[in-house]
Amino acid sequence: MSATADVPALVARARAGHRGALGRLITLVERGGAPADEVAAHLPPPGRPAHVVGVTGPPGAGKSCLVGALLAALAAAGRSPAVLAVDPSSPLTGGAILGDRVRMDARAGGAYVRSMATRGQAGGLALAVPGALRVLEAAGHDPLLVETAGVGQVEVDVAGAADTTVLVLAPGWGDAIQAGKAGLLELADVIVVNKADRPGADALRRDLEVMRDLGRHTGLEARSGRRPAIVMTTATTGDGAEALQEAVDAHAAGLGDGAGRGRRRARLEVAARARGDVEARLDALLAAPAGRALVDAVAAGGLAAPEAARRLVAALVGAG
Amino acid sequence: MNDTPIRVVLAKLGLDGHDRGLKVVARTLRDAGMEVVYLGLRQSPEGVAAVADEEDADVVGISMHNAGHLTLAPRMVAALRAAGRDTAVVIGGIVPPEDVTALEAAGVAAVLGPGASAAEVVAAVRRAAPA
């Protein structure tokens, strides 16, 4: 990793289709701080935003395999997709095994694929995702698929980052009560029942349909504007991939012009960068003698945790 | 975070089905704080080089148990150089000691045998990664 990367030249080469330059730019975005700022400063102003499709779901539901099948369908349709495939970083060592490519088999479709570790984020995405999306967009890729780390019920970050959120489930995921719980299910624009060749797939589809249709009676559907399509797929054979692409395209068509999406993307990028900076400063404060003294005082019973937190935030804000 | 993890692409080339060792190496490097892009079985040197480009890998690790190392390891190095990358290549698996010099001459950064400890594997990858 050369420290003196020539960012304008990298941007020019990435826009000319050089995968290595694109890869290096995303590395700089992932590094955060000054390198990420320099990349952002040298990207062309956003034009019509690319369509961002978030693919999320529990571990083992078949997200990577399904993304691979979707890539093949998109390539056949003459599109130029790219993928950010996110897997978890170790909370202990910072290391990660990024295994999505094993099942994605992206070389067949020729899509650009980048594996990304969460690096400390708990919502299923990495802080660098918004910045990396801007780089991929500048290089001419559209749509942009973001595969989250395997998630449970409450990791809903992806719905904020994506224009279209695809939730992937598989038989055995749960029953009608699971389907009725709040969280991720409410934010899906398309729900996939993957492994549709397995027993239980039809029962899961029925449970999900009932869950979705109850929203019409409760008023949730009118409030959220969401009535997710439910698509059956078998990612290993590619069955249903075209139907999934059609459902994703149909949702994209309902998004209207790019202005709202562009503003949402801008908000996300600003918020991610600000959040990263705030967290870094907070960690630094906690590690400094004053922060450690606050923690010690709480541990010793001499100070209430909320008061310690208030002082910490005051110090953070005061630090400007 | 300023301490960027080392990014390593791990793969096996051609028709060599013994991937237990590579999986252990993946776990070893993960626990040493590295980000491992795991490709697994039946890869080609050109395909791995393309992935190294997309992933901006610091090191490519290839596991070989089929006596193909004298053919495939130099091709792996050549494919990376042809892609314009100076990414280091580390070979692990079954390599007779008398072949190590030839591999090093072909540009392989390190060769790890079956007796290599976890610490030796991690140290070799750290040495191979650009500073």
pLDDT of residue A2: 45
pLDDT in tens, A150-169: 776 556 677 778 999 999 99
A97/B84 touch (CB, cutoff 8 Å), yes or no: no
Question: How distant is the Cα of B23 from the closest Cα of chain A, in angstroms?
Answer: 10
Which parts of chain A register pLDDT below 50? 1-3
pLDDT in tens, A165-204: 999 999 988 777 777 776 778 889 999 999 999 999 999 9
* CB–CB contacts below 8 A, A to B: 89
Q: Where are the domains of chain B?
A: 7-117
Helix (H/G/I), strand (E/B), else coil: A235: coil
pLDDT of residue B124: 98
| Set of chain B residues whose Cβ sits within 8 Å of the Cβ of A88 | none
pLDDT of residue B7: 98
Residue A132 burial (C-beta neighbours within 10 Å; 0-12, 13-18, 19+): buried
Answer CATH for B7-117 from 3.40.50.720, 3.30.43.10, 3.40.50.300, 3.40.50.280? 3.40.50.280
- Looking at the complex, does the CB of residue A95 fall below 8 Å from at least one CB of chain B? yes
pLDDT of residue A109: 78
The DSSP element (H or E) to which B39 belongs, if any, is strand B35-43
- Looking at the complex, does the CB of residue A302 fall below 8 Å from at least one CB of chain B? no
Is the separation of the CB atoms in A26 and A10 below 8 Å? no
The whole-angstrom separation of Cα A185 and Cα A224 is 12
Closest CA to A49 of A212, A214, A265, A221: A265
pLDDT of residue A152: 64
Closest CA to A150 of A122, A112, A131: A122
Residue with tokens 């990420």: A36
pLDDT classification of B129: cutoffs 50, 70, 90? very high
Q: Which residues 6+ apart lie within 8 Å of A255 measured at CB?
A: A51, A163, A164, A261
Token pair belonging to A20: 């290595």
pLDDT of residue A1: 44
Angle between helix axes A33-42 and A19-31 (nearest 10 degrees) is 130
Beta strands in chain A (DSSP E): 52-56, 82-87, 96-98, 112-117, 144-147, 164-169, 190-193, 229-232
The whole-angstrom separation of Cα A161 and Cα A149 is 14
pLDDT in tens, B11-26: 999 988 899 999 999 9
Helix (H/G/I), strand (E/B), else coil: A205: helix
pLDDT of residue A49: 87
B36/A97 touch (CB, cutoff 8 Å), yes or no: yes
The whole-angstrom separation of Cα A250 and Cα A274 is 33
Pairing of strands B88-93, B59-64: parallel
User: Pick from A2, A93, A115: which is nearest to B55 by CB?
Assistant: A115
pLDDT of residue A176: 74
Question: How distant is the Cα of A45 from the closest Cα of chain B, in angstroms?
Answer: 24
B55/A114 touch (CB, cutoff 8 Å), yes or no: yes
Q: Is the pLDDT of residue B1 over 70?
A: no
pLDDT of residue B2: 42
pLDDT of residue A221: 87
Token pair belonging to A289: 């003698």
Residue A138 corresponds to which amino acid? A
Question: How distant is the Cα of B18 from the closest Cα of chain A, in angstroms?
Answer: 16
The whole-angstrom separation of Cα B16 and Cα A97 is 21
Q: What is the mean pLDDT of residues B86-91?
A: 97
Q: What is the mean pLDDT of residues B37-57?
A: 96
pLDDT of residue A183: 74
Q: Is the peptide bond before A143 cis (omega within 30 degrees of 0)?
A: yes
Question: How distant is the Cα of B98 from the closest Cα of chain A, in angstroms?
Answer: 32
Strand-pairing partners, residue B8, are B36, B59
**What is the full DSSP assignment across A146-177?**
EEPPP--SS--HHHHH-SEEEEEE-TTS--HH
**What is the full DSSP assignment across A251-286?**
HHHTT-SHHHHHHHHHHHHHHHHHHHHHHHHHHHHH
Helix (H/G/I), strand (E/B), else coil: B93: strand
Is the separation of the CB atoms in B130 and B37 below 8 Å? no
Is the separation of the CB atoms in A165 and A251 below 8 Å? no
Largest Cα span, chain A: 66
- Looking at the complex, does the CB of residue A64 fall below 8 Å from at least one CB of chain B? no
Q: What is the rounded average pLDDT for all residues in chain B?
A: 95
